[in-house]
Structure 1
């Protein structure tokens, strides 16, 4: 047989029957379709209820007569049984909380704070600067007051001045307030008034001695006696010019050293009106600023009759410590100030300190102190014997010395 000759093929081949590999997938698709229809029917029916068409009726969209409306409706498929499907309730939308909750296993990071404005920082800086300045000023106040040792002055006055506790306390309080700072708007004028022999000149000497010691310069303390420096009333104009020159020199030197000078004028009731006018001019705020930093102490017997009358009329409460005594002191100060303002305008700006009459016990203390100073033994019985020789006002069971301790020195010198 020839190699190039091909075998003839049949012209009409017989049709082949479909094999099992085509029918099996079709059957599987049909089974899945039925299963899906049954599940849809069960899902649409409520639990425990049956369809009106019976249990075997095909579900919507599964029968041959399914309408297009049923097919158009959305169908949802789940593998959950109808008993497990609970009716869905609309959830309420929960409001987001502003509190940030961090899980336990994560690192807690603080959110970034808002940037502070520059104005707030400047305000904090200004508050810090003002606070620092206030603290510095308080420290300077303490330093300026400590320079004058007012605690030591108070102890010295209480130890050496008898029968005037209220006057000593008021003097120290006024000095403490004034010397708390070096810069002032006007000078301090202390007016010590009372009858003769109650300790006014003694307080003036103690103040001068103390300020000479703390200022370390005797030129910053000026003591002016009316009868000694201006004995003749006809030379009042010359005395006025001399007083103005001396005060100007003292305050100028004190301003250069940043200190407060002391000017003591004794027997001020004998000063001519021209000198009182000059003193009144020195106290005016229109003067140069270095005249404002000064302390003037006027010692005068003016108003002594007023003090004597008030003490004798209020003997039961004038010298008693407590509220009654403080009220009596304030009343006496008001009366005395009103009396002095009628004498000269100088007293209007003065801080009046009244000195009361001395009790007999205070006079005995004066005798003992003077006897110890002169080298005598301060025997109590002898001091009481010497004090009994003086004259006294006897009111409400109390005895007030007429001349105070003025005759104590002369009496002790006769021993």
Structure 2
């Protein structure tokens, strides 16, 4: 085999080990390079040969005129022959897929999640529980208020109490708000004040009768305390205080056991000694047990009667008392007058004892002549007499009246009606 022209090796290096280690690799590289050049020249000189890769020119150190003359040869290096290159099937170019475009009006949906989060289910369950509790609480409030039949109480008071529409409406409204729930932070204290004969004691008796009926109790949850009867002047005030504390404690304890709201009506409060007022004021304190806060106290007193009388006579030309059948302007005027009277009356009573600072004061106004006539007709019907209008007017004319601004107000109200009808 022909190994090509003799190699032109470099001159021998200087003797020594270091020079020998450097020259030997260089010689090997040169021999390999010359051998590669010889093989390329032989291959390109054959028929169908071509230049070197890409550029059509031989590698440096292997230049040849024959290589530059053939410009039609393939411009890439391969070990396949020309016949094999021509018979090879050209590779197809892979087409890129186009993007799928959606119209703007179409709705796009997110991919469906296979596994739903447990936290979402817990949240839905919590919302359902809270909604059920709120609905149940609202129903319980309605049930608690319906137990006391406040609509029936309002109708009974409007039918039996004459000349006090504003007082009746305020009493029922305060009770309706208080009885909407069973748990309270403080008791409800109603203070009914006015001159004699305007219907305070009558309202107290109606309230006690109604609560005994709706609570289905023999009287253990309704307490009626008359200062003139239960604590006369001859009895020691401390004994009255202890007795009142014991009776109130028994009532509220039994009401707490039965989950009901008791009613405590105290009449002639203006005659109570100060120790009893202090005991009543102690029932309102927050340090008391919680069952003392779930109760309704109704104080009936003639204190402030002179203030109510003066106020009504000074404002006789205004729309007093407030009547549901009056004009809208007259009702608004009467409502403002009633609010002013409550404020002045509460300020007057609070100077005597701090008990009235926490009370809801309800003033009872003077009765005009037609209200007294209605009292006579009602009492006559109750005693078995025919309630004749003319006869009732003649009986009412025997009483004393204040005559102011063309109106007549009874001095003693309906106080003498019962005694006068008993003389018939």
The TM-score normalised by the length of structure 2 is 0.72
Q: Report if the CA contact (8 A) 1:233-1:272 is conserved.
A: no
Deviations 1:197-236 (A, max 9, x none): 0000000000011111111111111100001000026500
- SS of equivalent to 1:198: coil
Instruction: Tell me, yes or no, if the aligned pair for 2:164 and 2:321 is still in contact at 8 Å.
Output: no
Q: Is this contact kept in 1: 2:401–2:411, CA < 8 A?
A: yes
Q: Where does 1:102-121 land on structure 2 (aligned, <5 Å)?
A: 111-113=111-113, 117-121=117-121
Distance 2:383 2:188 in 1: 36
Matches within 5 A, 1:39-78: none
Counterpart contact for 2:166–2:321, Cα < 8 Å: no
The equivalent of 1:170 in structure 2 is 170
Q: Which runs of 5+ in 1 are unaligned?
A: 1-66, 73-92, 103-107
- 1:388 matched to 2:414: no
In the alignment, is residue 224 of structure 1 matched against residue 225 of structure 2?
yes
Q: Structure 2 CA distance, aligned partners of 1:371 and 1:145? A: 35
Does residue 272 of structure 1 match 2:281?
no
2:208 is aligned with 1:199: no
Of 313-322 and 282-291, more deviation after overlay is shown by 313-322
Deviations 1:13-47 (A, max 9, x none): xxxxxxxxxxxxxxxxxxxxxxxxxxxxxxxxxxx
1:162-220 Cα shifts (integer Å, max 9, x gaps): 00001001111111111111111111111000110000000000001111111111111
Match of 1:406 in 2: 415
* Per-residue deviation, 1:115: 5.8
DSSP 3-state at the match of 1:219: coil
2:370 counterpart (317, 338, 361):
361
Alpha-carbon spacing, 1:170–1:270, altered in 2? closer, same or farther (3 Å): same
Matches for 1:254-403 after TM superposition, within 5 Å: 254-315=255-316, 316-320=318-322, 321=326, 322-403=331-412
Aligned length: 327
Counterpart secondary structure, 2:236: helix
Instruction: Measure how far apart 1:68 and its partner are.
Output: 6.4
TM-score (ref. length: structure 1): 0.74
Cα deviation for residue 337 of structure 1 reads: 1.0
Q: Aligned partners of 1:334 and 1:109: how far apart in 2?
A: 67
Q: 1:297 to 1:283 in 2, by over 3 A?
A: same
Post-superposition shift, 1:117? 4.2
3-state SS, counterpart of residue 323 of structure 1: helix
Structure 1 pair 119–413 and aligned structure 2 pair: CA distance change class (3 A): same
Alignment partner, residue 146 of structure 2: 146
Which deviations, in whole Å up to 9, do the C-alpha atoms of 1:270-328 show, x marking residues without a partner? 00000000010011111111111111100000111111111111112332442111111
CA distance in 1, matches of 2:296, 2:403: 38
Report 1:31-46 matches (<5 A).
none
The equivalent residue for 1:243 is: 244
RMSD: 2.8
CA distance in 2: counterparts of 1:98 and 1:291, whole angstroms: 73
Q: Is the 8 A contact 1:187 1:292 kept in 2?
A: yes
Write the distance in 2 (CA, Å) between the matches of 1:234 and 1:208. Answer: 26
Distance 1:177 1:159 in 2: 22
- Which ranges of structure 2 fall in alignment gaps of 5 or more residues? 1-69, 76-97
Give the Cα separation in 2 of the matches to 1:386 and 1:403.
Answer: 14
Question: 1:112 & 1:120 partners in 2: Cα distance?
Answer: 16
